[in-house]
Amino acid sequence: MPRLTIAIDASRAFGARRTGTERYSTAVIRRLVEDGGHAYRLYFRAAPVEAPPAGADIRVVPARRLWTHTRLAMELALDPPDVLFVPAHVLPLVTRTPGVVTVHDLGFLAFPQAHPRPQRLYLAWTTRRHARRAAHIIADSAATRDDLVRRCGADAGRITVIHLGVEPAMRPAPPDRVAAVRASLGLPVGSRYLAHVGTLQPRKNLPRLVAAFARVAADHPDLHLVLAGMAGWGDSDAAGWAARAGVAGRVHPAGFLPDRDLPALYTGALALVMPSLYEGFGLPVVEAMACGTPVACSATSSLPEIAGDAALLFDPLDEAAIAAAIGRLASDAALRAALSAAGTARAACFTWDRCARATRAVLEAVGGGRPARAAPGADDRR
C-alpha cells in the first residue's frame, strides 16, 4: 500500500470536555496516528488541550466562523492531501480532496423539535449534501446507515458501518473510587442508585425517566437516580422534573463528569437506564456493560442493535414500561447478575482498535482511488 497523506479534521478531538462525538474523534485519531503507515495531518481550529500522539503533523488554523468551509477548505487547497477524514458530520462545501465523513446520527431529522433551529437547518442541509457527494460515509450503526438511505437519499454502497469502541479504562472500578464518586454526588450511605449518562436534551427522554422512577420510588426507598451530563438545549431542569414528580432529593443532577469518574459511576450503579427516543449508537450502553453494570434501554433506533440480547429493553414512550423495567432491576438480583454477565461479554465486541482498523481501511481505499467496502472490523450486527 503506497504511503498516503491523510488529513483529519481534529477540531472535535483532544479537548477538555468530551461527549460521545469528541470521545470518538479522540480515540480513532489517536489509534490511526499510533498505528503509523501513513502521513497524518491534523487540523485544529485552536490548540488542543491534550497533546496528540507523536508523529502527526499538527496544524492549528484559527477562524472565527465557518471554520470548516473557510479556513480548513483553504488549507486543503494550498496543500492537498490524498484524502480528508472528518469524524463529525460536516465536510467542506468546496474542496477537490476526496472526503470521508462519519455521520453519528440523524437526530436533527428524527426529532427536529428537539434541536435549535439554526443547528437543525445547518446539519440537515450539509448532511443531505454529503450523502450525495462524499467519497464515502462511515455510520456508527446499521440503524444510522438505514436512516441515511431513507432520509437523505444516500447510496448504501458508499456507507460502511463501523461500531464505536470502549476504552480499556472502562472496567470495574475499585471500591475506594466508587466511594469517592458516591460522596461527590451526595448519595446517602447505604443507598442504591440508577445512572443515566448523556447530555440533558429532549431526545434523551429524561422527564419521562424521572416520572417512571417516581412510580417505583415508594416501593424502593433506598433507590436514587443520578443524571450525569451537561445541560443541553431545551428543557434541562432536572430539579424541576423531580419536584413535579414528587421525588425531590432522590434525583441527583451530577453535571458533566470527566472520563476518569465514569467507570466508578457505572460500577457503583444498580443499573444504567437509557430511555432515549433516538440514538445513533449509545456509547454509555457498552461502557456500562464493560464495567459489569446491568443495562436497561429503549427498544428503538440503534439501541437494540448495540445492546443485543444483553440488556432489558422497553418502549421509551411508555412510562409504565420504563417503571416496570426499573422495578425488575431493583427487585431481582438474579436478573441483574445475568445482565451483568451478558453485558460484559457483549462489551468485549466493541474496541477502538477494531474501529480504527476498519476506518483506516476505508481511508486507504478512498485515498488510493479504490471503492471503499465494509472491511474486517466493520460491523453490521442486529
Residue ranges per domain, the chain?
5-164+351-368, 175-348
Q: Which residues pair with 136 in a beta bridge?
A: 100
The answer for residues whose C-beta is within 8 angstroms of residue 122's C-beta and 6 or more apart is none
State how far the Cα of 336 lies from the Cα of 344, in Å rounded to an integer: 12
User: C-alpha grid cell for residue 194?
Assistant: 440508577
Residue labelled with grid coordinates 432520509: 151
Q: Rounded to an integer, what distance in angstroms lies between the CA atom of residue 271 and that of residue 282?
A: 15
361 neighbors 32 (Cβ within 8 angstroms)? no
Is-contact 227 253, C-beta < 8 A? yes
Stated pTM of the model:
0.92
pLDDT < 70: residue spans in the chain: 1, 234-235, 373-382
Q: What is the CATH number of domain 175-348?
A: 3.40.50.2000
Q: What is the per-residue pLDDT for 304?
A: 98
For the chain, give the number of residues: 382
pLDDT of residue 377: 38
Burial class (CB in 10 A: 0-12, 13-18, 19+), 54: exposed
Sign of the alpha-carbon torsion through 231, 325, 284, 90: negative
3 state SS of 37: coil
Cell of 237: 431542569
Distances (CA, A) of 18 to 115, 302, 354: 19, 21, 21
Instruction: Determine the Cα–Cα distance for residues 327 and 231; give it in Å rounded to an integer.
Output: 27
Q: Any idea what DSSP says for residue 368?
A: T
Here the cell at position 103 is: 455521520
Cβ–Cβ < 8 Å for 63, 70: yes
Q: Which CATH number fits domain 5-164+351-368: 3.40.50.2000, 3.40.640.10, 3.40.50.300, 3.20.20.70?
A: 3.40.50.2000
Q: CA gyration radius for the chain?
A: 21
What residues have CB less than 8 Å from 350, skipping those under 6 apart? 163, 164, 165, 166, 286
Chain segment 12-59, per-residue pLDDT in tens:
999 877 777 899 999 999 999 999 899 999 999 999 989 999 999 999
Cell numbers found for residue 315: 418502549
- The CA distance from 179 to 84, in Å, is 45
Write down the pLDDT at residue 373: 65
Give tens-digit pLDDT for 298-313: 999 999 999 999 999 9
Tell me, yes or no, if the two domains 5-164+351-368 and 175-348 fold the same way.
yes
